[in-house]
Amino acid sequence: MDVTPRLRLLLIEDSEDDAALVVRALVRGGYDVTSERVDTPATLRAALNRQAWDIAIADYTMPGFSGTVALQMLRERDADLPFIFVSGTIGEDSAVAAMKVGAHDYIMKGNLKRLVPAVERELRDASVRRERRRAEQRIAYLAYHDALTDLPNRSLLHDRLEQAARAANRDSKPLALLVMDLDGFKEINDTLGHHAGDRVLQQVASRVRGTLREADTVARLGGDEFAILLPSTDIDGAILAAQKVLQEIERPLLIDQRPLAVRASVGVACFPEHGASAETLLQKADVAMYLAKSDRQGIAVYAPDRDRHTHRRLTLIAELRQALDARQFVLEYQPIVHLRTGVVVGVEALVRWNHPQHGRLLPGDFIELAEQTGLINPLTMIVLDTALNEWAGVDTLTPLTVSVNLSPRNLQDPELPQRVGDFLKAHGAAPSALALEITENILLTDPARSMDCLQRLHAMGVRLVIDDFGTGYSSLSYLRRLPVNELKIDRSFIADLSSGRDDVIVRSTIELAHNLGLTVVGEGVESAAMHDQLMALGCDTAQGRYFAEPAPAAQTRGWIVRQGALGLL
């Protein structure tokens, strides 16, 4: 590429001849020069106003103008513009003084052959300086802004919120803070990819920004969480603004040419009702956002009576993480009994959390939270490991199957079959000694991935059980597609049996399951009546209080041994 470099030259020079000499030297040096000569402060200012310059070359002493004054004027405009003195009269002292005020070089008029190399070097240095300055400005900008959306970040929001809170206190004016979190953003990221996720965040950011006034601050707090600061706005105004924002977001976005519906939850906290400091308002808006999310109502205003609940939830998440490391989870087992023979054929592992403060917690207290936070994966690994450890190789009359409950999310983990295989090997257990219980709606999220997981587990020889059957949306024909061995009728249908109500659901489920080659378990058997009726309907196995409550491994083993010894059931 041999293009003549263009050079926009600003000459600060009283002598037209000297100016021409400089220009000629540069043209000879290969520059395509466009230049302007000025020799008074007024003409210099006009030239600076008119256009941008690549370099300034100035005489040091002119009759009506001083080179150093010219340099100062230039520096006020552009700290990086290369500046070279070319002078016939410059002495060593003046040269040093010139460099001190910020000239980059000085050249004697009688020695113009130094000019071209000096210009080349100064242009290069200037571009490096500009680059560095841009980088510094970017860094300074990013300290207070989010790179993806260009919105203010948490730090800047915090500063503005503090200022706004102070002003609101002083002027007795209201102030509202909204915290907004997108619903299901993780799924968008997981299914469409991070690139699409980023697009969503950018479009949401610009829509929210566009909905609000100039004086309002829209910030990105991180992830899919945004905050909106509304000065001079009370609770009613905040709700209106939140409604407008949600409406705007819920118009489908266009992501990679495809429409995508996005929803969000907004929490509202206001000064003076809910707090006076930036810190408190942020925290309360955050709590309100969680309330909106759990109620699926879009918008929630901070409510002190519900705060404790949410606070507890946040604490519980942190504690759940610690509990995994501290191994605070223990298993209880409930025997599963073959109805016709009374033989114990398996045990179901049910997890409990020995919480250091709250005592023994049941799955209903924490499984959903573990699912929402992804902690269900490590938790399931602990359960699998413990269950196999406590039952593999235990000597009973007939081989026992130990059942472990899976969450839908476990089947999204492509490594699950491998991990299960590793555990079986480590504990020397046959695959058929393990049953995994899944629920019907397991295929609602990413069916292909879940199905792949199930098929691999099935191929390994692990037993698969549909748990809580009848509570989901699936039909028996849908089950045909799943590689399962067994179906567990939900305890609500078993409970219906005792009330003498129609047993048609249980009866037809058992029949159809048998036609599909599946065995059937009844759960939640609490009485002899339920037991007898299930047996009469041809149900294969059952579990429930009528036989035994869930209990620690040793206790359950004792119970099994006693049953065998007494030959009961």
Q: Is position 405 an interface residue for ligand C2E (rule: CB under 6 A)?
A: yes
> Could you tell me the maximum CA-CA distance found in the chain, to the nearest angstrom?
123
Amino acid at 360: R
Measured distance CA(32)–CA(35) in Å, rounded? 10
Measured distance CA(112)–CA(96) in Å, rounded? 19
CA distances from 389 to 280, 386, 437, 480 (A): 48, 5, 18, 33
In three-state secondary structure terms, 300 is: strand
Which among 28-36, 205-213, 362-370, 426-434 is the span making contact with ligand C2E, rule CB under 6 A?
A: 362-370
CB atoms within 10 A of CB 552: 14
Measured distance CA(537)–CA(531) in Å, rounded? 10
Q: Which does 273 bind (CB under 5 to 8 A by kind): Mg ion, ligand C2E, none?
A: none
Q: Which is nearer to ligand C2E, 275 or 524 (CB)?
A: 524
Q: Are 321 and 339 in contact (CB under 8 A)?
A: no
- The tokens describing 265, both together, are 């939850």
Q: Are 351 and 366 in contact (CB under 8 A)?
A: no
> Residues 476-515 vs ligand C2E: string with x where CB under 6 A?
---------------x------------------------
Q: Is position 470 an interface residue for ligand C2E (rule: CB under 6 A)?
A: no
Q: Is position 335 an interface residue for ligand C2E (rule: CB under 6 A)?
A: no
Q: Is position 464 an interface residue for ligand C2E (rule: CB under 6 A)?
A: no
- CB 519 to Mg ion: min, Å: 15
Amino acid at 261: A
> Residues 269-308 vs ligand C2E: string with x where CB under 6 A?
----------------------------------------
Number of residues forming the site for ligand C2E (CB under 6 A): 23
- CB 272 to ligand C2E: min, Å: 44
Measured distance CA(12)–CA(310) in Å, rounded? 70
Nearest to 297 by CA among 370, 239, 212: 239
Q: Is position 467 an interface residue for ligand C2E (rule: CB under 6 A)?
A: yes
Contacting ligand C2E (CB under 6 A), which of 96, 142, 254, 362? 362
- CB 409 to ligand C2E: min, Å: 9
Q: Is 485 exposed, middle or buried (0-12, 13-18, 19+ CB in 10 A)?
A: middle
Q: Is position 544 an interface residue for ligand C2E (rule: CB under 6 A)?
A: yes
Measured distance CA(68)–CA(304) in Å, rounded? 67
Q: Which is nearer to Mg ion, 149 or 405 (CB)?
A: 405
> Residues 460-489 vs Mg ion: string with x where CB under 5 A?
-------xx---------------------
Contacting ligand C2E (CB under 6 A), which of 228, 335, 524, 556? 524
Q: What one-character DSSP code corresponds to residue 109?
A: G
The residue with tokens 């070359």 is: 57
Contacting Mg ion (CB under 5 A), which of 437, 440, 486, 540? 437
Measured distance CA(449)–CA(443) in Å, rounded? 9
Which among 144-152, 309-317, 358-366, 503-511 is the span making contact with ligand C2E, rule CB under 6 A?
A: 358-366
Measured distance CA(551)–CA(360) in Å, rounded? 13
**Interface residue list for ligand C2E (CB under 6 A):** 334, 350-351, 362-364, 367, 380, 383, 405-407, 437, 467-468, 491, 523-526, 544-545, 550
User: Which chain residues interact with Mg ion by CB under 5 A?
Assistant: 405, 437, 467-468, 523
